[in-house]
Structure 1
């Protein structure tokens, strides 16, 4: 290993230091990270003060993380890294549902709910019925598929953001598709909302004069035996910020109409108040290789 650490020898010296890494993938990652990071430093030539600010920013980002808030995911989101990783890993058959970011408010286990049950535990927003099927790329239904859903309320807040207002599990549900691959639940039409701006990521957006808003959406994770699971959203057509999502997650294939329905008979079928909104979202999974 080189001992004369200079601007010219720095990168090679650090890459060489990782040559005995047993895991070849880790060795590849560390070498590539070193080369790109050193090129970045050479390009911008940060002052000592700027580098200390950068370290302070990352430290503050870590301090902002807790059991319900992941500031590093938020940072990855607003830099477009989360969506780039999703896109690179989402190279599926053309018919398969597009993937999007997980986001910072997913919980490990949503409450299991019955078909047609409401995930809205407050009953204050505009009622909405969401229906869909989970199928394979050839159209074959996937009975027993699990569909994990979560969303903000009509005011733009998730349950973990308002523990004194929303009961745990509000806006969340884990549904099992029936024999035809169908799932259905009742909710409220979600609102557009700002990502959390009270931490380092918010300061970054302010400094760069970027808005923090996300268009209205509902999160989904769907999986079935023998198929690759997908993490995705549906976005409410006509919502503000569809063209400038703060985390770059909008894909045209995922924008859905939340149609206004004024039909007492249909409302009775779904056991919701009339009028209501109706959205349909079919999820297409690719078979595992």
Structure 2
């Protein structure tokens, strides 16, 4: 089923934009001197900002616990026990301003949004070796003190299946969000960022379900790891997808058609007319334009 035809994605959008199609929180528009910027970059930055961090860094251990709570896969007592075993002081994160207070906060909607943002951006980072590699088993005395890593094929296939599902869900969701954002041209970057965050928050539960469904539907897909280094990660699939992450971010294609990346989503470039320049600068340009008009001689 096409995502754009799935009613589960449409209902949350109505909550954000209103049943009559008007936004609940209208923002001042200024289409004069607007610059067309890729919606993908704006949406991606908005979603990244929704991921809780500690000292500016992602914390996979804690966010996986947040996701376990958000999905109902673990109870509060189980998560608390896991954190204590990791030497984490729960009283230190009890304050609501702590980035990981979601671990003990009972607001499920906040957990779901944070989890969805964490999952959505997981395809935009280099994977750790622990995701699909294990220590090599050595039996010879010469290699007893030497540790090496080898790929665990079972872990690799599962991890690549998850990455594929996330990339596909990101492309679907971000395209839907871009379509909605295009309906309100002339906003500032800050307003587009706020609008994108509101849309993602409304769609977060459906997004997590979408990832789950896509992973299940791709269970028979075969994968080929093409490259893995400290700067690049690339794999291809039997379904015609190519996943590549490097210095220029995530580039995901389907049968050579850009599905995510290079400013494109589902093969299309979505552009937002952004009120990009400072109002003082645009007023100077308008004044200069008016001066040129006055200075232009009138033909008899």
**Do these two structures clear the TM 0.5 threshold for a shared fold by scoring above it?**
no
TM-score between the two structures when normalised by the length of structure 1: 0.22
TM-score between the two structures when normalised by the length of structure 2: 0.22
More helix by share: 2
**Structure exhibiting the larger radius of gyration computed from Cα positions:** 2
More strand by share: 1
